[in-house]
Amino acid sequence: MKYFLKNITLLGLLMITTMVIVLSSADGHADPYYLRFTSPEQSGFILGTSKAAQGLRPDVMHEILKSDLYNYSFDISKSPYGPKYLKSIQRKLSAQTQNGIFILTVDCWSVSTRESLPDDAKNFIESNTCVGQMNLVNQTPNFKYLWNHFSGHYYKILAHSSESFLHDDGWLEVSLDMDASSVNRRTKSTLLEYEHYLSKYQFSNLRFQYLVKTIDFLKQYGEVYLVRLPISEKLMKIEQRLMPDFNLKIESIENKTNGYLDLTHQNIDFAYTDGVHLSKSSSKIVSAQIAHWIKKQQLFKDE
């Protein structure tokens, strides 16, 4: 009996040790969010949903602005503007930050909610996600995230995904076939989903208020810029149906920021993987364009 218990104990310890080693090896291939909760406190942000997560590259912007930026964007269900996202941003920001640059990407989805009571924060969708529940956002390894929020099976940690990779600076690189038939297939499917969203989503005054609160908080630490990223023309029509006065709402708070750049006037100039997200080649161009615009805004301010 003692021999049996000894073997069972050793086997249990071996399994636990193996599990800890596997979990500790999680990197940017394993999960599209994990590294955002293991990286250190940051002094500059790119914020928003998956459009920003995939579309904006801190490395490209750094070359132009000579300022550190971290892409702390997630997706439409995790990081619309609201109390949970703001709290996570506050935890992630270094209190010693001075003269930081903060790029807040905005669209109608980031200030809307699918709940029947659009201003009821208790029922906001992100409350039950990693953004809403993780109070440790700078810990490595972050076992709380891996235990409660890791997306998929743990074998994915060892079987590196060839489709997506989360870089150390927070940019989510997505590698998909960009031939016309693949893009058309994904675009058709994605736009059908967004058509469905039209019957579910509605503008939330509370989310809009928290966009303003996020601006006010970050203004204490540097410059805040609002950016509306380009999208396919078909998605643009859907967004206009959801919120035709979106730009008027953003322009009403523009004076709180260091500027608002609306890139939807250039929708046809860029390529998209699915009608929503910029392709890798276009993300590089758009990132550089935004960085050059910020640099001009800074020069104009200093004159």
The string of pLDDT tens digits covering residues 8-30 is 655 445 444 444 444 544 565 77
pLDDT of residue 30: 77
pLDDT at residue number 159: 60
- The residues of the chain scoring below 70 in pLDDT are 1-28, 152-162, 302-303
pLDDT at 18: 44
**Total-model pTM:** 0.91
SS (H, E, C) the chain: CHHHHHHHHHHHHHHHHHHHHHHHCCCCCCCCCHHHHCCCCECCEEECCHHHHHHCCHHHHHHHHCCCCEECCCCCCCCCCCHHHHHHHHHHECCCCCCEEEEEECCHHHHEECCCCCCCHHHCHHHHCHHHHCCCCCCCCCHHHHHHCCCCCHHHHCCCCCCEEECCCCCEEECCCCCHHHHHHHHHHHHHHHHHHCCCCEECHHHHHHHHHHHHHHHCCEEEEEEECCCCHHHHHHHHHHCCCHHHHHHCCHHHCCCEEECHHHHHHCCECCCCCECHHHHHHHHHHHHHHHHHHHHHHHC
